[in-house]
Amino acid sequence: MIKSVHFILTYACNFQCDHCFLYCHPFAKGTFSIRQVRDVLEECRKMESVTNVGFEGGEAFLFYPLLSESIRLASQNGFRTSVQTNGFWATTEEDALLWLKPLQDAGLSCLEVSDDRFHHREGGQNNAGHAAAAAETLDMKVNSICIQPPEVEHSGSRTKGEPIYLGGPKLRGRAVETLTKGLPVKPCIEFTQCPYEEFSHPGRVHADPFGNVHLCQGISMGNMWETSFSSVVEAYDPENHPISGPMLAGGPLALARTYNLRHRDAYVDACHMCTEICLELTDRFPQYLAPKQVYGLESS
């Protein structure tokens, strides 16, 4: 039962972070129109289970009038609203108030701001702090998103003192290209389930400007521009979906075996393996592994 719909309002971003799930960058294609936002919100209203609507990117604040009107429409339709941002606009607390007050007036419920080294250099301008302080001044709920760099333990807690990957950013999208080198790996036979997504009963989906309704970034239920959003959700059959079906049966390992794909003997984690397997399947299932740009391939 889907309770939360997150709009990838744009794939464009003023940053090009190493960990980005979506390969976002300043020239990335794909931004919603306000008519498209309105249409999806009307579809969400048909689904009585949806209570929360989020706006993210890319960087949604790059299209501020679109963001503001989208928040107003969502709030007007009775949804609780949130926005995720890297806080580039919060150069001072006073300036941050100028950006946030109109969004609060439009109905913004919660600000989620990135506060980590991927987005802001250590010792640099404290944009995240300015944004959070401004939100608190407005009595707006604020959450800090802090993504830690990959962490490895060398304590010898495994057999023969092998290092252990303890975690960090999810190894999807650009992170596979930029962050996996040199990290310790595990045998692929260990990756028999997805540790993050509920493919059988998704409670949250992401909707993008190309019409994709994402179960996980880059894995789509179907396309809402070809049929309606509510129809895509209603038609979703997890066991017979070409990607979620194998994932439910046995994780990334089952996905590779289902389609007889050659693969490595070991990966850093399940996301790492899943991303590389999905990359191999993009031409075979373009409707469900989309858009290609989130796999570092050509833009849609």
- What are the residue ranges spanned by the domains of the chain? 1-147, 148-200+238-300
Give CA separation, 18 vs 82, 206, 216, 278, 284, in Å: 24, 21, 19, 19, 27
Segment 139-197, tens digit of pLDDT: 999 998 766 667 677 665 555 557 776 677 889 999 999 999 989 999 999 999 999 99
CATH architecture, range 1-147? Alpha-Beta Barrel (3.20)
Identify any residues that bridge with 204 across adjacent strands, giving them in sequence order. Answer: 4
Q: Peptide bond preceding 291: is omega within 30 degrees of 0, i.e. cis?
A: yes
Q: How many CB atoms lie within 10 A of CB 275?
A: 27
In this model, does residue 18 exceed pLDDT 60? yes
Mean pLDDT for 41-64 is: 96
Per the model's pLDDT, the better-predicted residue between 124 and 38 turns out to be 38
- Taking a C-beta distance cutoff of 8 angstroms, is the pair 165, 273 a contact? no
In this model, does residue 123 exceed pLDDT 60? no
Segment 252-267, tens digit of pLDDT: 999 999 999 999 999 9
pLDDT at 155: 60
